[in-house]
Amino acid sequence: MSTTTWLPDLIYVNGRFESDRAIVCDDGKIQEITKRDDGIRLKNRALLPGLVNAHSHAFQRIIRGRTEHRSQHTTDSFWTWREQMYAAANRLGPEEIYNASRLAFLEMALTGITAVGEFHYIHHAPDGSTYDDPNLLAREVIRAAHDVGIRIALLRVAYARAGFEKEPNPQQIRFIEQSPDTYLKHLEQLLDAPELKTGMAWAGVAPHSVRAVPLDYLKTIVTFANERGLPVHMHVAEQPAEVSACIEEYGRSPVALLDTEGLLSKRFTAVHAIHVTPKAIASLARAGAVVCGCPTTERNLGDGVVPVDAYFDAGVRVALGSDSQIQIDLLEDARELEYHLRLQKTARNVLAPVNDDSSSALARRLFDCATVRGAESIGFNGGKLEPGAPADFFTVDLDDPSIAGAATEDLLANIVFSLARTAIRDVVVAGKQIVSHGLHG
């Protein structure tokens, strides 16, 4: 197996940029980061670990710009947006799902994202019938990621009902698998698919929400995931209405329900987790669960602000997702975690660690959310540059106007707070270059 050596000006290792270092890759992994002068020279480039997008609905890329106007409702909200999104979802066949996903994944690759957690819930044909292969659409999404060249965790969604005491919603017939047995049978078929044996794709369990999956069903599939060591992702407390419906049904908030039923764990990622109490935050911390914030989507949908300051204080790990794809720019998500809190609290550097006043301390925390925390959330050993880790990384142009003139010690803060997406030049996944000079292919 031939090794490839890359020689950028700077490499981000152990939380800081080092010069005079080469990154040596072999068999899709990083072999060493060392002093070497032979290899592929990446002039005026800084090299960083690939970004990990922990929460995506790839097909929603096609409604970008199509929901930014008043609908027929007096007031627009998450729920009126959802009707528009369903209308689009219900018109997509397998080929369209592939094309929409490929478009989203291509944009992700160009922005330095090397792995994605795809929260996939369209399973059936538009009339609600199951395809001959019940994972046809999931496999089309995996094929799109494969053709672009990024890694994918296919988080296969369980969806059983419209909600507590709600009539079935005909717009959801493509998502529904009525029983946990059907869901698990289909999941096991997916786990056996050849494309999941390559290291580039794997599966996880994704109960959609407490609204869409009743408790017994939820317990059955989370138990299965825990026995197999699979990641578990779930939308939690995105909207106040979801919290009040859960209290009405179970007498407990979503996080309290998950906690008291023993469903939280280190493998559990609570997506959004916005409308939570201090007690809920403490429960997530105790369980070692991850929270995935999606701030570009959350501000677009009017969801609210993720209380990341409280999560950090409690020691909860926070990952990031591009979710609705209104923007695909994980560094924008990273800076918005902080910016939303600045607006809410009329203060600055809210998320900066207390005992570290170095100029990139806050940026380091936010960059960890976009890399290593995302990798932990979707269940792989990525998001960092060290021997044995996957050879997944991207470079930025140090001469780009958005970061030109940055001193080495301020460079990460320049990248996290100011980098233009177009400054991303090279992207490598599993040692294979998929973006060169800002172009894919």
Catalytic residues: 272, 323
Specify the stretch interacting with Zn ion by CB under 5 A; choose among 185-193, 317-325, 351-359, 410-418: 317-325
Q: How far is the CB of 70 from Zn ion (least distance, A)?
A: 23
DSSP 1-35: ---EEEEEEEEEETTEEEES-EEEEETTEEEEEE-
List all residues 6 or more positions away from 350 whose beta carbon is below 8 Å from its beta carbon: 309, 338, 341, 342
Q: How far is the CB of 128 from Zn ion (least distance, A)?
A: 22
In terms of phi and psi (left: phi > 0; alpha: psi -120 to 50; beta: otherwise), the region of 302 is left
Q: How far is the CB of 271 from Zn ion (least distance, A)?
A: 6
Closest residue to Zn ion, judged by C-beta, is 323
State which residue, 269 or 414, has the beta carbon closest to Zn ion.
269
Contact 334, 302 (CB under 8 A): no
Specify the stretch interacting with Zn ion by CB under 5 A; choose among 42-50, 208-216, 323-331, 393-401: 323-331
State which residue, 294 or 334, has the beta carbon closest to Zn ion.
294
- Looking at residue 99, the DSSP 8-state letter turns out to be H
State which residue, 79 or 131, has the beta carbon closest to Zn ion.
79
The owner of tokens 């060591």 is 229
Specify the stretch interacting with Zn ion by CB under 5 A; choose among 66-74, 248-256, 282-290, 315-323: 315-323
- What are the φ/ψ torsions at residue 55 (nearest 5 degrees)? -145, 110
Site string for Zn ion, 171-210 (x = CB under 5 A): ----------------------------------------
Distances (CA, A) of 142 to 94, 166, 397: 12, 33, 30
State which residue, 323 or 376, has the beta carbon closest to Zn ion.
323
State which residue, 156 or 425, has the beta carbon closest to Zn ion.
156
The owner of tokens 């009902």 is 161
- Count CB neighbours of 260 within 10 A: 12
Q: How far is the CB of 60 from Zn ion (least distance, A)?
A: 9
Specify the stretch interacting with Zn ion by CB under 5 A; choose among 78-86, 273-281, 300-308, 316-324: 316-324
